C-alpha cells in the first residue's frame, strides 16, 4: 500500500520529510515528489500549493503518476465555529466548495454533473487522525516549547470531526464567515484546497482525510504572527499527527 501525503505549507512538508528514509526525489508538473518510507509504510510526500486548481493538479498526479492508495492532507484553516480556538484541530467529516455556484442549472455548492455537494472522508483514516491528534495533545509540551504555546494562547485543546468549506478566497472578515455559515450552518472550518482534493479522490475512489490546524478564530479578532505560528506550532502538529497515523 502506498500512502500519499500532501502538505499545504512547505514547512509542514519539510518536517514530515525529516522522518522519511530511503528517499527518492522526482519532479513532475513543476512539483517535487518524495517517495520513501515512514514507520514501514511506503509514502509519497508533496507540497500541495495553494488554491483549488493547484491542489487538484497535485493530487491527480499522486493518483495517476505515483499510484497512491490512500491520501492524508494536512494544513491550516480558519475557524467558522466560534467554539474553536487557535491550535485546535479539525478532522474532516465531509468537505464542500463554498464558492461553487452553478445556479440555476444546479443547486448551490453542488458539483455540476455529479449530484454531489459533500465529499465524505474515509472512516478509518478519520479515526487514525483523531487518535494521532489525541497522542499529540497528550504530550504537547514535550513537542512544542511552552513559550510558543503561551504566545498563541494554546490551551484546553480540542479535536473535532466536522464539515470543512473550501474556496479560492482567503476569508479574513466576520461578515464573509457569517455568509458561509448562512448557507451551510454546520461548517466548522474554512480553507482553500481540501474540497477540490476530496473531489478528485472521489473521482478515483481514493480514501482520504483532511486534517486542519486552526490558525484564526471565527470572529477574526485574534491577530497572530502567521509565519511564526506555522514555524513554531503548525509544522509540529502536522509532523506528529501524520507520523502518529503511520504508527497505528
| Mean pLDDT along residues 75-102 | 96
Task: Enumerate the domain spans of the chain.
Answer: 2-239
pLDDT at 222: 65
Q: Given a cut of 70, is residue 61 above it in pLDDT?
A: yes
pLDDT at 45: 98
| Mean pLDDT along residues 85-96 | 97
Is position 11 annotated as part of the catalytic site?
A: no
Is position 216 annotated as part of the catalytic site?
A: yes
Residue 227: pLDDT band with limits 50, 70, 90? very high
Domain 2-239 grouped into CATH 3.40.50.1580: yes
Residue 218: pLDDT band with limits 50, 70, 90? confident
pLDDT at 224: 81
Q: Given a cut of 90, is residue 155 above it in pLDDT?
A: no
pLDDT at 248: 83
Residues 156-207 have pLDDT tens digits of: 899 999 999 999 998 888 889 999 999 999 999 999 999 999 999 999 999 9
Summary mean pLDDT of the chain: 95
Q: Given a cut of 70, is residue 24 above it in pLDDT?
A: yes
Residues 178-190 have pLDDT tens digits of: 999 999 999 999 9
Which residues face 209 on adjacent strands?
Answer: 72
pLDDT at 173: 85
Considering 11, 93, 193, 216, which one is annotated as catalytic? 216
| Mean pLDDT along residues 60-77 | 98
| Mean pLDDT along residues 200-229 | 90
Considering 11, 12, 88, 232, which one is annotated as catalytic? 12
Amino acid at each position: 500500500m502506498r500512502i500519499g501525503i500532501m502538505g499545504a505549507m512547505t514547512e509542514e512538508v519539510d518536517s514530515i520529510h525529516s522522518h522519511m528514509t530511503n528517499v527518492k526525489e522526482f519532479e513532475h508538473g513543476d512539483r517535487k515528489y518524495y517517495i520513501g518510507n515512514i514507520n514501514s509504510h511506503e509514502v509519497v510526500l508533496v507540497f500541495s500549493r495553494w488554491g483549488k486548481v493547484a491542489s487538484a493538479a497535485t493530487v491527480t498526479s499522486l493518483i495517476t503518476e505515483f499510484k497512491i492508495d490512500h491520501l492524508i492532507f494536512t494544513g491550516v484553516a480558519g475557524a467558522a465555529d466560534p467554539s474553536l480556538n487557535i491550535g485546535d484541530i479539525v478532522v474532516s467529516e465531509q468537505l464542500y466548495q463554498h464558492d461553487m455556484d452553478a445556479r440555476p442549472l444546479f443547486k448551490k455548492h453542488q458539483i455540476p454533473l455529479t449530484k454531489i455537494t459533500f465529499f465524505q472522508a474515509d472512516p478509518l483514516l478519520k479515526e487514525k487522525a483523531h487518535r494521532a491528534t489525541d497522542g499529540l495533545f497528550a504530550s504537547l509540551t514535550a513537542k512544542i516549547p511552552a513559550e510558543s504555546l503561551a504566545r498563541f494562547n494554546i490551551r484546553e485543546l480540542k479535536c473535532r470531526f466536522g464539515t470543512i468549506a473550501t474556496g479560492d478566497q482567503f476569508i479574513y472578515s466576520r461578515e464573509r464567515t457569517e455568509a458561509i455559515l448562512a448557507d451551510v450552518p454546520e461548517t466548522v472550518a474554512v480553507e482553500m484546497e481540501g474540497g477540490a482534493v476530496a473531489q478528485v479522490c472521489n473521482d478515483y475512489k481514493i480514501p482520504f482525510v483532511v486534517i486542519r490546524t486552526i490558525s484564526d478564530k471565527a470572529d477574526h479578532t485574534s491577530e497572530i504572527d502567521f509565519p511564526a505560528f506555522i514555524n513554531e506550532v503548525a509544522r509540529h502538529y502536522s509532523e506528529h499527527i501524520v507520523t502518529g497515523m503511520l504508527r497505528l
